[in-house]
């Protein structure tokens, strides 16, 4: 009987495969041929790539499979996430601490995968927070945020967290120049008092971040960044706009100059200056959050950063004039070409790293700003891409000699040759593309299979859902001469930037459980026999265990109105994919979601007498509905003693 059923299923699967197997001769949808089979991942099969999208104003990170566009996970980072207690539990809320106190929301922008020798290595993913400047590091074996560091002396951390070739540094920069250090000054004293800051955050071998130095620069808006690679390793490039230094109505007042600047930073030179003691120690307060060896987030209040200025450290920063209000700055796989997305420019300017070095050696300067020499545009330009679409923003590379630039206003991707700088193909994006992403497309070795358009406007592409519509991504095949649209899929929040890596790089490294033996949480309960309830003044500590399919203890008495009841719950499971949840009536916080072997804590302050149920929120077994318990709450001063049951 069983065999027959299984055989029938196998047969059905075969038929389904037959139905979708592409032959290239099908009738096209808008000229897309066998688009369906190109993105079809059969039930039970895996996607070929992980795709990490910025969650934008959700503050989180989306993880999708490619080519299917299936959403696999949302990783909570800068915003509280009630689904698993991120930022609510006693063990994770320190992750959202800043020098401004607890900040429950963030604006995540640019996912950046760690690199070794300019190639994605699958260790970590970094992502920046724009609003309250921070950088987070996500561990790609757990898909959990491992660390968040605040960036002091900065505002609007947009040109971040792009890494150097061996992940020596992840960078940060000031998008909204401010008085630096902060000061109570008139806003219209901008030109006099406002500055930008380019921050270099050292990444240790174990991933731990540490602000190495900060470079004080003129008060422009530093917008995006990329580091050099290969021959240009040792340099980082930051676009800036608002060289007009306007402080109001920037859409007009910051669009006056024909050219703004890319700041080319020789960070190896900066290291020398810091080592030579040319930096100045500033009293910068910032908070650094990470998990300790008990898997509990802790916050270190840090004090002091080393600030250097171009005036005191010569040969460190140069300005490359770049039309006009440039947005993206992208270095090609050879490391020799630096493309800028001049969002108000009629061309895509492509600077030559080699020419830049020659111009520096020849002191081919047209001026200087606060100790920063301005190079002559004509001396450093490798080429200008004509007719690149309106509003060019970002460029990625396919590793086969072509670049792909997003054009926001004309809503298209233009493909151009790195040899001739001529546009060779273009494809519309639906609608208003911002960033675009090719797997490995900002590294020395791209996987040039697809480009993914990350669109700001969705309009009529999906079933309407009231005033707020999903943003979207579009998967486009770039394996041939002509780009070919394959798939639309909605995204979480606003997918500013995204990066992808082959699943084979990380899928076999996934942590499945936390070994209970290695649980060093000071309030872990590693065996049912140790489960207990203890009163400590007005605090009641419940040391609770979960396993399919019961809590110990599951009857608790002696709690009083107004107590702080700490449920320290340990999941004793040691099997993959068996989390348990914990929730109790009226808790003014989220649930707990406990991975196997993990201890997490929910604090409940009961407000009324009565008997309140708690239960497992994550379906765990056939007897999941039975996984419940009761907590009795007596009046303040009651003589009911603490009691609890154990098996």
Partner 1 sequence: MTMISSLTDVRLAAALLVAGAVACGGSSSDSADAASDQAQTGSGSDELTAFQLEHGIGPVTEVVEVGALDPAMAQTGEEIFAMKCSSCHKIDERYVGPALGEIAQQRSATFIMNMILNPKEMYERHPETKALLAEYLSFMPDQNVTPDEARAIVEYLRSAAPGDAE
Residues 141, 124: Cα–Cα separation, whole Å? 8
Which one of residues 74, 108, 266, 545 is an interface residue with partner 1 (CB under 8 A)?
A: 545
| Cα–Cα distance measured from residue 434 to residue 394, given in angstroms and rounded to the nearest whole number | 7
CA 608, 610, 614 angle in degrees (round to 5)? 100
- b vs e for 340-378, b when ≥16 Cβ sit within 10 Å of the residue's Cβ? bbbbbbebbbbbbbebbbebbeeebbeeeeebbbbbbbe
Least Å distance between CB 516 and partner 1? Answer: 6
Token pair for 3 = 């065999």
Selected binder of partner 1 within 251, 293, 419, 460 (CB under 8 A)? 460
CB of 123 to partner 1, least distance (A): 25
> Can you tell me which of 37, 99, 417, 564 binds partner 1, judged by CB under 8 A?
37
The pairs formed by 455-458 with CB atoms below 8 angstroms and a separation of 24 or more are 455/429, 455/430, 455/431, 456/408, 456/431, 456/432, 456/494, 457/431, 457/432, 458/430, 458/431, 458/490
- Is residue 140 part of the contact set for partner 1 (CB under 8 A)? no
Whole-angstrom Cα distance, residue 137 to residue 319?
30
Sketch the per residue contact string, 49 through 88, with partner 1: x for CB under 8 A, - otherwise: ----------------------------------------
Minimum distance of partner 1 from residue 37's CB (angstroms): 7
Instruction: State the nearest-atom distance from the C-beta of 570 to partner 1, in Å.
Output: 11
The contacts of residue 313 (CB under 8 Å, 6+ apart) are 269, 270, 273, 278
The verdict on 19 binding partner 1 (CB under 8 A) reads: yes
Q: Closest approach of Cβ 489 to partner 1, in Å?
A: 16
CB 238 → partner 1: shortest distance, Å? 43
26 binding partner 1? (CB under 8 A): yes
Task: Give yes or no for a contact between 268 and 124, defined as CB atoms under 8 angstroms apart.
Answer: no
| Rounded-to-integer distance, Cα 369 and Cα 263, Å | 11
Tokens read off for 180: 């630096």
Kindly state the DSSP code that residue 112 receives in the 8-state scheme: E
Q: Does 17 bind partner 1 (CB under 8 A)?
A: yes
604-633 residues in contact with partner 1 (CB under 8 A) are 621-623
Shortest Å distance, C-beta 591 to partner 1: 21
Q: Which of 75, 224, 320, 516 binds partner 1 (CB under 8 A)?
A: 516
The DSSP element (H or E) to which 272 belongs, if any, is helix 267-275
Q: Which is nearer to partner 1, 6 or 538 (CB)?
A: 6
Please answer whether residues 506 and 139 qualify as being in contact, where contact means their C-beta atoms are separated by less than 8 angstroms. no
Contact flag: residue 410 with partner 1 (CB under 8 A): no
Q: Could you tell me the smallest distance in angstroms from the CB atom of residue 511 to partner 1?
A: 12
Interface residue with partner 1 among 20, 185, 268, 301 (CB under 8 A) is: 20
> Do the bridges between strand 610-615 and strand 580-584 make them parallel or antiparallel, or are there none, so unpaired?
antiparallel
Q: Which of residues 476-515 bind partner 1 (CB under 8 A)?
A: 513, 515
The answer for residues whose C-beta is within 8 angstroms of residue 191's C-beta and 6 or more apart is 219, 245
Distance CA 169, CA 234 (A): 10
Q: How far is CA 525 from the centre of its chain?
A: 34
- 464 contributes a contact to partner 1 by CB under 8 A: no
What does the block give as tokens for 56? Answer: 């934008």
Nearest distance in Å: CB 573, partner 1: 6
Does residue 204 touch partner 1 according to CB under 8 A? no
Measured from the CB atom, the residue of 3 and 419 that comes closer to partner 1 is: 3
- Distance of closest approach, residue 33 Cβ to partner 1, in angstroms: 9
Report the alpha-carbon distance of residue 349 to residue 421 in Å, rounded: 10
Nearest CA among 320, 306, 227 for reference residue 266? 227
At its nearest, how many Å lie between partner 1 and the CB of residue 42?
Answer: 6
- Report in angstroms how near the CB of residue 34 gets to partner 1 at its nearest: 7
The count of chain residues that interact with partner 1, using the rule CB under 8 A, is 51
Q: Which of residues 556-615 bind partner 1 (CB under 8 A)?
A: 572-576, 578
Q: For 223, phi and psi rounded to 5 degrees? A: -110, -50
b/e code 380-407 from CB counts within 10 Å (16+ = b): bbbbebeebbebbbbbbbbbeebbbbbb
Smaller CB separation from partner 1, 368 or 626? 626
Q: Does 554 bind partner 1 (CB under 8 A)?
A: no
Answer yes or no whether residue 311 interacts with partner 1 by CB under 8 A. no
Residue selected from 252, 268, 529, 640 as contacting partner 1 according to rule CB under 8 A: 529
Tell me which stretch binds partner 1 (CB under 8 A): 301-309, 425-433, 437-445, 548-556: 548-556
Nearer to partner 1, 3 or 641 (CB): 3
Q: Are 500 and 480 in contact (CB under 8 A)?
A: no
CB of 604 to partner 1, least distance (A): 23
Q: Measured from the CB of residue 457, what is the shortest distance to partner 1 in angstroms?
A: 16
Is residue 23 a contact residue for partner 1 (CB under 8 A)?
yes
Please tell me the distance from the alpha carbon of residue 600 to that of residue 566, in angstroms, as a whole number. Answer: 10
Pick 535 or 624: Cβ nearer partner 1: 624
By beta-carbon proximity to partner 1, the closer residue of 552 and 565 is 552
463 binds partner 1 (CB under 8 A): no
Cis peptide, bond prior to residue 431, ω within 30 of zero: yes
Distance CA 192, CA 177 (A): 12
Quick one: which of 18, 249, 275, 463 contacts partner 1 (CB under 8 A)? 18
Choose which of 528, 564, 603, 610 interacts with partner 1 (CB under 8 A).
528
> Minimal distance in Å, beta carbon 646 to partner 1?
11
Residues shown for the chain? 647
By CB under 8 A, name the binding residues for partner 1: 2-3, 6-7, 9-10, 13-14, 17-23, 25-30, 34, 36-37, 42, 44, 460, 513, 515-517, 526-529, 545, 547-550, 552, 572-576, 578, 621-623, 647
């Amino acid at each position: 009987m069983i065999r027959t059923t299984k055989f029938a299923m196998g047969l059905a699967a075969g038929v389904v495969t037959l139905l979708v197997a592409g032959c290239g001769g099908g009738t096209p949808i808008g000229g897309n041929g066998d688009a369906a089979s190109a993105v079809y991942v059969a039930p039970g099969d895996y996607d070929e790539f992980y795709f990490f999208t910025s969650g934008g104003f959700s503050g989180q990170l989306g993880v999708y499979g490619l080519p299917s566009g299936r959403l696999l996970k949302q990783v909570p980072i800068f915003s509280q996430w009630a689904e698993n207690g991120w930022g609510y539990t006693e063990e994770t809320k320190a992750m959202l601490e800043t020098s401004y106190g607890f900040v429950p929301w963030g604006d995540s922008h640019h996912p950046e995968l760690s690199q070794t020798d300019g190639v994605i290595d699958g260790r970590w993913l970094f992502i920046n927070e724009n609003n309250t400047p921070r950088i987070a590091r996500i561990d790609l074996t757990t898909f959990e945020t491992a660390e968040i560091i605040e960036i002091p002396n900065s505002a609007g951390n947009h040109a971040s967290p792009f890494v150097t070739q061996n992940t020596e540094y992840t960078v940060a920069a000031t998008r909204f120049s401010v008085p630096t250090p902060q000061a109570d000054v008139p806003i219209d004293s901008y030109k006099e008092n406002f500055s930008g800051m380019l921050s270099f955050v050292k990444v240790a071998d174990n991933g731990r971040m540490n602000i190495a130095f900060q470079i004080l620069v003129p008060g422009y808006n530093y917008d995006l960044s990329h580091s050099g690679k290969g021959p240009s390793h040792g340099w980082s490039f930051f676009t800036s706009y608002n060289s007009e230094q306007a402080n109001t109505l920037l859409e007009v007042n910051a669009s006056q100059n024909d050219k703004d600047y890319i700041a080319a930073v020789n960070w190896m030179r900066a290291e020398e200056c810091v080592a030579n003691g040319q930096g100045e120690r500033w009293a910068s307060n910032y908070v650094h959050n990470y998990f300790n060896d008990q898997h509990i987030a802790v916050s270190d209040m840090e004090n002091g950063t080393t600030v250097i200025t171009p005036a005191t450290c010569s040969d460190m920063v140069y300005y490359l004039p770049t039309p006009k209000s440039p947005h993206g700055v992208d270095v090609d796989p050879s490391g020799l070409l630096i493309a800028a997305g001049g969002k108000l420019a009629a061309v895509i300017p492509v600077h030559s790293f080699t020419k830049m070095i020659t111009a520096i050696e020849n002191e081919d300067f047209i001026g200087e700003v606060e100790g920063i020499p301005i190079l002559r545009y004509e001396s450093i330009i490798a080429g200008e891409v004509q007719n690149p679409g309106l509003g060019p923003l970002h460029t990625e590379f396919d590793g086969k000699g072509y670049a792909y630039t997003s054009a926001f206003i004309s809503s298209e991707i233009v493909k151009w040759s790195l040899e001739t700088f001529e546009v060779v193909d273009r494809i519309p994006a639906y609608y208003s593309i911002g960033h675009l992403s090719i797997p490995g497309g900002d590294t020395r070795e791209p996987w040039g299979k697809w480009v993914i358009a990350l669109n700001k406007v969705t309009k009529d592409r999906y079933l309407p859902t009231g005033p707020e519509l999903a943003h979207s991504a579009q998967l486009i095949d770039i394996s041939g001469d002509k780009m070919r649209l394959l798939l639309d899929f909605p995204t979480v929040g606003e997918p500013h930037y995204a990066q992808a890596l082959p699943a084979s790089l990380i899928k076999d490294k996934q942590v499945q459980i936390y070994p209970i033996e290695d649980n060093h949480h000071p309030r872990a309960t590693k065996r049912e026999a140790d489960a207990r309830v203890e009163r400590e003044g007005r605090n009641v500590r419940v040391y609770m265990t979960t396993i399919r399919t019961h809590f110990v203890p599951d009857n608790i008495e002696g709690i009083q109105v107004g107590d702080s009841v700490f449920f320290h719950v340990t999941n004793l499971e040691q099997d993959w994919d068996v989390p348990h949840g914990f929730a109790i009536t009226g808790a003014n916080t989220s649930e707990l979601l406990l991975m196997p072997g993990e201890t997490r804590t929910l604090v409940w302050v009961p407000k009324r007498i009565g008997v309140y149920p708690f239960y497992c929120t994550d379906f765990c077994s056939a007897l999941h509905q039975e996984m419940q318990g009761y907590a009795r709450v007596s009046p303040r001063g009651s003589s009911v003693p603490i009691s609890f049951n154990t098996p």
